[in-house]
Chains A and B, each alone.
Chain A
């Protein structure tokens, strides 16, 4: 046992979709303040892994622990656990029928029973922090993709999560908007947020990650510090993957 309990820990996690073995003996731990970036080709199980951590995907066997406790399987306890882990989706998933401000305050008021005024005040600060403070009274459809994703990050932060999961947060964005979202994530990392990030942004991984995990075919093939991984990948597959990216 390490001195510190990891915020997120996965032990021997296996998952099948029918005959398809999508997660193979996944062992992973993320300690407080760490930024773990998962990379790998499409269909390697990165997103699935990310989504099992707050049980948006169930697992076949093995166990997942948050702060040393097993994830509850259902009901209020599961909801309560999810409220402690922020999640940012590829397609933003803002609530289109509500304003940006309402998007951010809905869960704090409804789930955490916070005072509405205070929640709104905090929401405005968060929105300002991610650079969309002046969009608070618009509905999501009026914002650009980059603005929507930053608002979605603010929505997750409003729950004061212990850790944040990012499931390909920039994959649905136009190139010029990727930077603004990555900047927010970089700042968040610098402030000490515990983060698990699935991404294709290699520069981000290199700059911000404390650790890089390379996945292929549902298994973790390699894990290491970013400089080490990007300069001297150990496995042939990681080498080939990095090579194929560099060619562009």
Chain B
């Protein structure tokens, strides 16, 4: 850990002394040995069960395989981005209603929030797959996965936004009001911009969940990454290798999202120093 880069660990733990350093070294050694053994065991099992055989991997050299997975990935991203936008809009509305002073309005909102947070995404997916079509409204596969994923996440987003709003000091609202702003204007110009900055990391964490929830798309036969992977699996009779590659793709996307969250958080924190230079 570099000295000029203070992290949360510096506040949680004190600087280790000589004895602690010895223990850290021993612990690190043991952990490395265990890790090496684990990797070896996995590779060995793969080998023993023949997972490295050419027939499980050869199709990855074909352009069409990647194009097929790419198309799935594109759908996954479209579903995730659309669901993300919808869930943010719904979450924002629910948060506004939840903070409304009228008891009826905030209670209804609180009820919806609890409901969407309590029900598993899969049930929402089944609802849009099995129950909703009975209303006569035809939805494409894209919407049959996008809507339930969005609805499932909106309660969490609402609560995250609300916690951000509550974290803005009371004096901010009072200062805005004392300058002649209406409650509404003070909310949009002063309170919410600060609240939003507070909760960016939480919102991105929720986006990761949205992305993972899109894998339910196979249920409604929407051709996302997971669904296309399943098609490849049945074509090539190669389960482990394909799932492995698909898992890596999901991990990379979510890793990217987390990096984005870190960099946004850091930018918020160092905004002062950046502006100082300007």
Contacts and interface: CB of A to CB of B under 8 A. Distances in A.
A99 interface: yes
Contacts of B177: 54, 56, 79, 82
A96 B178 contact: no
Contact of A106 (B189, B271, B272): B189
A102 B188 CA distance: 15
Given A110-B189, A111-B185, A99 B275 contact: yes
A85 B178 contact: yes
Tier of interface size on chain B: 20 to 34
A111 B181 contact: yes
A83 interface: yes
The interface residues of chain B, by DSSP majority, are classed as helix
A95 interface: yes
Contacts of A155: 179
Nearest to B185: A110
B278 interface: yes
B195 to A, nearest CB: 10
Given A137-B278, A139-B272, A142-B272, A93 B175 contact: yes
Interface in A151-166: 152, 155-156, 159
A155 B182 CA distance: 17
Contacts of B180: 79-80, 82-84, 107, 111-112, 159
Given A76-B182, A95-B190, A139 B172 contact: no
B179 A111 contact: yes
A111 B197 CA distance: 24
A79, A91, A139 pick with most chain B CB within 10 angstroms: A79
A97 B179 contact: no
B193 interface: yes
B179 A96 contact: no
Nearest to A56: B174
Interface in B159-197: 169, 171-172, 174-182, 185, 189-190, 193-194, 197
B276 interface: yes
Given A155-B179, A156-B179, A139 B185 contact: no
A141 B179 contact: no
Interface of A: 54, 56, 75-76, 79-80, 82-87, 89, 91, 93-97, 99, 106-107, 110-112, 137-139, 141-142, 152, 155-156, 159
Nearest 7 interchain pairs by C-beta:
A83-B180, A93-B175, A107-B179, A87-B178, A93-B171, A111-B180, A79-B182
